[in-house]
A and B are shown apart, each in its own frame.
Chain A
Amino acid sequence: MRFTYLFVMLIIFVILQISLRAIGINFPLLPLLIFYAAYTYGPWFGFGLVLPAAFLLDFNGGWTHPWSIFGFIAVACFAIFWLHRIESDSLLLLAIPGFTLPVLGDFPQNLLAGGFTVSNILNSGADALANGVLGAILFPFWIIILDFFGKKLGLCTYSEAKERVKKENL
């Protein structure tokens, strides 16, 4: 069921991100999904999403190479770090991954695809910063939405992930 849920969410997020990009709004949604999958369902699901997400997003955006792989791997690694190293999960603290994910998941591939020129670094940097701020605000809402549907399907939620890890470690 987790696989099906993530697959459906992947398609929805890819459509959303590509459609938003086509009208000029560049907000990286897929890093949020990869983070959620790696954090809530475990590293296999997070890393398993990296390849299909990068392929679907990059090739449908017109890129020749799936550059997003590098950023998405970094996001999955960050999720595991966040799950195992950070103790508190207050709403305010969620702003940190909310800010980090769009930067990690979008900035490197924009540099790789667009080239290491001053204008591209400035443009991508400004984009990443704006997306980071927006991500910090929106991240808790995304978690609530993903948890809502996950719960309806009887899947474990974001808030339960830490408890699960603690139990496993005991």
Chain B
Amino acid sequence: MNMDMNDENLKGKKIYRILLFIFLGIVLLVAVYASLRRTAARFSRDFMSPFLRTVTVTEDGVFYAAQLAKPKKQLAAEVQTLQERNLILEAKIRTLQNLQTENRTLRALLKMPESPGFTPITAEISGRTAAQWRERFVINRGWADGIRVGNAVAAPDDSGNLVMAGRVIEVSGGTAVVATVFSGDCHLSVITESDNSAGGMKVLDENTLPVVRYLPIGGKYQDYGKILTSGIAEDTPANIPVATIVPRGKDVPPAAIIDQLYAEVRVSPLIRIDTVRTVVVFTKNGDAAK
């Protein structure tokens, strides 16, 4: 009888110990999950990045090989057009460089702090998933290329103009995760093109269009008016087109007044996120890899 009770006691203690260990294990896992996840994410992305880069290189190789199938005349015409476009861009850069020097001198004279410059880096999308196709993607450049969390990411729209695509939210050695302008993780400081009214753009619900909040009540807001980056945040260049204002209806002003405090407009991002393949990341001068 006594032996049986002792056995039961021992069994009970054993179960109690196992449950305690399981409980402690769960607590420990929850406690270290955040840092574990970050480390695992960085390691996984860096481990796979050379392989995925090879895929991109192969794709480029196939694309160039396909170009060779075009008639010589067509290729020559394309080269001619590109050379002309390069010349125009070169001329524009020279003019901008002069303006930059002038700006720097004037700032120095007025004893104002020097404005941060940006170095654009091109990157290709190496991974994205169906479930978050519009909200985020992975690019094949990372910390080693000078990319940091918060960097602005732009991409060409249908007509080839550079528009805001999103913001870098995670970086590893050779890759970075970008939250697009359709994602709740991407907040932007923006202005209206018509009268430079400043506000904050964010996505309240990922199934609806983003909104620009905290705009001044007295601002001029037109249907399809352009929204640009304000440049207030030091990691985002100013005046990059972001979105257009969505009309609320016929004879209704596009801006809704919230609590008599600020105006709010619904906007439609300019980026055609479904077809984006190559993006430009604006790294701050000094961060860019030499």
Contact = CB atoms under 8 A, between A and B. Distances in A.
A22 B44 contact: no
A68 to B, nearest CB: 10
A22 B127 contact: yes
Interface size class of A (residues with CB under 8 A): 20 to 34
Q: Which of B37, B55, B128, B136 has the most CB of A within 10 A?
A: B128
Contacts of B55: 15, 19
A84 interface: no
B122 interface: no
A59 B136 CA distance: 12
B132 A56 contact: no
A113 interface: yes
Interface size class of B (residues with CB under 8 A): 20 to 34
B28 interface: no
B118 interface: no
Contacts of A61: 127-129, 138
A117 interface: yes
- Specify the main secondary structure of chain A where it touches its partner: helix
A65 interface: yes
A18 B48 CA distance: 10
Given A62-B129, A114-B132, A56 B137 contact: no
A59 B51 contact: no
Contacts of A59: 40-41, 44-45
A43 interface: no
B44 A55 contact: yes
Interface in A103-120: 109-111, 113-115, 117, 119-120
B48 A14 contact: yes
- Specify the main secondary structure of chain B where it touches its partner: mixed
Contacts of A64: 37, 41, 170
B125 interface: yes
Given A66-B40, A114-B132, A18 B127 contact: yes
A26 B130 CA distance: 7
Contact of B48 (A56, A110, A114): A56
A127 B177 CA distance: 24
A63 interface: yes
Contacts of A56: 44, 47-48
Contact of A21 (B41, B45, B129, B175): B129
A55 B40 contact: yes
A14 B43 CA distance: 15
Contacts of B52: 15, 18-19, 60
A124 B37 CA distance: 25
Nearest to A56: B44
A133 interface: no
26 contacts: A11-B48, A15-B55, A18-B126, A19-B55, A21-B130, A22-B125, A26-B130, A55-B40, A55-B41, A56-B48, A59-B40, A59-B44, A60-B138, A61-B127, A61-B128, A62-B127, A62-B138, A63-B129, A63-B132, A64-B170, A66-B37, A66-B40, A110-B129, A113-B129, A113-B131, A119-B207
